[in-house]
Amino acid sequence: MTTHLLVPRRVAGPKAALGADFDSFDRVFEGLWSGLPRGLANREGAYEPRIDVAETPDAFQVEAELPGLEEKDIEVSLEDGVLTLRGVRHVEEIEDGTHLHRRESWRGEFARSLRLPTEVDASEVKAVYSNGVLRVTLPKAPEAQPRTIPINVA
């Protein structure tokens, strides 16, 4: 029977020789990046799903990465031009006798809101969840869609 243990990574090479000085250097760079979006967790440690937003002449397409969620745990709402995605990823029970050495995956609730730049037709919004990706299609309202105006020659 093979037993696998998680062993802390040992520092070798130039970083080991610098010791605490290198750790200070790391903290400086972490501080430089702290003002930028971090993708999975914001500064308060809350989950923020990664999203992609695309625009066509007729609609906005929003895709959110929501791995491990079930459709029933996701809510999509549109109010006053703001699209809000909410959800929860539940904590699984750990069997008796199991020792969890590390858990880096996220559990808990999230909410992510996006203000849309133009009016959308709320009655035609569609959301599809498949393979951990939520796809929301938000058709633009007719008055927000580009149109061609014919020119009459007199």
Least confident of 6-10, 67-71, 114-118: 6-10
At residue 61, the 3 state secondary structure works out as strand
Highest mean pLDDT among 44-48, 67-71, 122-126: 122-126
Share of the chain above pLDDT 90, in %: 37
Looking at per-residue confidence, does 101 or 134 come out higher? 134
Query: Is the per-residue pLDDT at 18 higher than 60?
Result: no
What are 82's strand-pairing partners? 79, 115
Query: Is the per-residue pLDDT at 82 higher than 80?
Result: yes
Query: Is the per-residue pLDDT at 106 higher than 80?
Result: no
Residue with tokens 């009459």, as numbered in its chain: 152
Q: What is the DSSP string of 80-136?
A: TTEEEEEEEEPPPPPPTT-------S--EEEEEEEE-SS-B-GGG-EEEEETTEEEE
Confidence of residue 20 (pLDDT cuts 50, 70, 90): low
Q: What is the pLDDT of residue 104?
A: 76
Highest mean pLDDT among 26-30, 49-53, 95-99, 145-149: 49-53
Mean residue pLDDT of the chain comes to: 76
Q: What is the pLDDT of residue 14?
A: 55
Q: List, in order of start, the domains of the chain with CATH numbers.
A: 43-92+106-144 (2.60.40.790)
Q: What is the pLDDT of residue 38?
A: 43
CA-to-CA distance for 15 and 10, rounded, in angstroms? 10
